Amino acid sequence: MEYMALLMFACVFVVLLAGYPVAFSLAGTALLFAAIGTVTGQFDDTLGFLPERLEGIMTNQILIAVPLFVFMGVMLERSKVAEQLLDTMGRLFGPLPGGLGISVTVVGMLLAASTGIVGATVVTMGLLSLPTMLRRGYDPAVASGAICAAGTLGQIIPPSIVLVLLGDVLSSAYQQAQLAQGSFSPETVSVADLFVGALIPGLVLVALYIAWLGWLAWRAPQRVPALPASERGAGGAALAREVARVLVPPLALIVAVLGSIMGGLATPTEAAAIGAVGAMVLAAVHRRLRLDVLREVMQATTRVTAMVFLIFIGAAFFSLVFRGFAGDELVHEILTGLPGGAVGAMLVVMAVMFLLGFILDFIEITFVVVPIVGPVLLMMGLDPVWLGVMIAINLQTSFLTPPFGFSLFYLRGVAPAAVRTTQIYRGVAPFIAIQLLVLGLLALWPDLATWLPDLVYNEGSPP
């Protein structure tokens, strides 16, 4: 019976690779195997819990943050904030070798904190900045690598949709782990914990990206030339006013969202509502809050939200049938039987997730894989915040790694034909090394992820 669970897991990947929609692949495969198991007498019917599971999804207060954060991100994208940020940051850093690359990284960080949507960030910056960088003499590999790497910051810089979904799933996994260990008053971990825990690792990543571009500018300035003096525009006080005008509003929005969460003034859902309203205010300031724009934003938000929740429902089918075949017990036996204990199990899970990131989006991995392996890892004594940040950075690295990284596909779709795919692959290699370095630092010093949540919430009441 346990091997039926593994066969079902393998079958769903075959169906996904055939190009079928994720939600229907998960639910359809699960129902097919449930029928086979029922006929052969091998299935412990767990589908009776499905109504309760679906009701829990639809009434989950945390998940209300998903459409609100999506609305915030799409509204900022339509309001031309990214375009103005790239132009102004380019003029600010342009006089320096590597300045355009640094501006792409800074804007990528701000867009990640504003939208949290990797595809939208990569495509936006690829359309706006890649032609400019190539026209100014940048090495195509360096330009492509900087854009892809900055775009993936949406995985780890809060408030990220990835962290919202991962936080909710890890919260359930943490409670399961404690109940399985006999603790009937379990501690909780929240999305806010994960937001705060991801802040320092995310900023470390940004600093290392900029450091790499600075080193490259020092060693090979011809690959990342400065803007010609004739194209820098006005400087001095005029540039300072322009930077303030363009940079302060999105920064204020980010501070309002994250500050309200960290200060205990709002839950992530309430902060997401603040962000959605703030994005509309920014769009109005940029004179983009028109009826047609609002209609486009609401339609895009509805499509993304419907996709997320449909995958949720498909994943609920899949996980229940997987448990009906005792798959969770098999996973527990495999992971606890590995040499090295928690370290060995963590290495195997990270490797599997990294490979799955080539063919699955973060939503599928979060809803399908994390509920299966999360309780086992947490029962081994791993910190849930640290585990969540490790998973997020691991998936971020996977999405950046050739030949199947999603970020590479997004950029390839909008890059000029003159930019070869091999150049994109070569350009992301240093950034992949930086990602792996940060993963290693987190593994050696978990305090990078856990120190700030402990400082913020142990001295006061968590939101």
The per-residue pLDDT for range 405-427, each reduced to its tens digit, is 778 888 888 888 888 989 999 99
Q: Over 90: is that where the pLDDT of 438 sits?
A: yes
pLDDT range class, residue 181, cuts 50, 70, 90: confident
| Closest to 442 (Cα-Cα) out of 376, 375, 379, 397 | 397
Q: Over 80: is that where the pLDDT of 395 sits?
A: yes
Asked if omega into 339 is within 30° of 0 (cis), the reply is no
pLDDT range class, residue 34, cuts 50, 70, 90: confident
For the segment 44-69, the average pLDDT, to the nearest whole number, is 80
Percentage of residues of the chain with pLDDT beyond 90? 17
Give the contacts of 398 (CB within 8 A, at least 6 positions apart): 353, 354, 355, 356, 357, 358, 405
User: Do 389 and 382 contact (CB within 8 A), yes or no?
Assistant: no
pLDDT range class, residue 439, cuts 50, 70, 90: very high
For the segment 244-260, the average pLDDT, to the nearest whole number, is 84
pLDDT range class, residue 460, cuts 50, 70, 90: very low
| Alpha-carbon dihedral angle through residues 6, 373, 155, 431, given to the nearest 10 degrees | -80
Q: Which two tokens stand for residue 59?
A: 């009434």
Q: What tens digit of pLDDT does each residue of 149-161 get?
A: 988 887 888 877 7
Q: What tens digit of pLDDT does each residue of 126-155 get?
A: 887 888 888 888 999 999 999 999 888 878
Q: Over 80: is that where the pLDDT of 2 sits?
A: no
- Return phi, psi of residue 361, to 5°: -80, 170
Percentage of residues of the chain with pLDDT beyond 70? 94
What average pLDDT is seen over the chain?
Answer: 84
Q: Higher model confidence: residue 361 or residue 401?
A: 401
User: Which pLDDT does position 115 carry in this prediction?
Assistant: 59
Rounded CA separation 121/117 (Å): 6
For the segment 242-252, the average pLDDT, to the nearest whole number, is 83
Q: Higher model confidence: residue 260 or residue 116?
A: 260
User: Which pLDDT does position 242 carry in this prediction?
Assistant: 82
Q: How many beta carbons lie within 10 A of that of residue 39, not counting itself?
A: 9
Rounded CA separation 169/367 (Å): 7
pLDDT range class, residue 305, cuts 50, 70, 90: confident
3-class SS of residue 297: helix
User: Which pLDDT does position 117 carry in this prediction?
Assistant: 63
pLDDT range class, residue 50, cuts 50, 70, 90: confident
| Closest to 362 (Cα-Cα) out of 410, 409, 387, 397 | 397
For the segment 436-458, the average pLDDT, to the nearest whole number, is 90
pLDDT range class, residue 463, cuts 50, 70, 90: very low
Rounded CA separation 247/252 (Å): 9
Q: Over 80: is that where the pLDDT of 57 sits?
A: no
Least trusted range by pLDDT, from 193-207, 259-273, 436-450:
259-273
User: Which pLDDT does position 399 carry in this prediction?
Assistant: 83
User: Which pLDDT does position 450 carry in this prediction?
Assistant: 92
Q: At what angle do helices 406-414 and 140-151 cross, to 10 degrees?
A: 120
User: Which pLDDT does position 310 carry in this prediction?
Assistant: 85
Q: Over 70: is that where the pLDDT of 361 sits?
A: yes
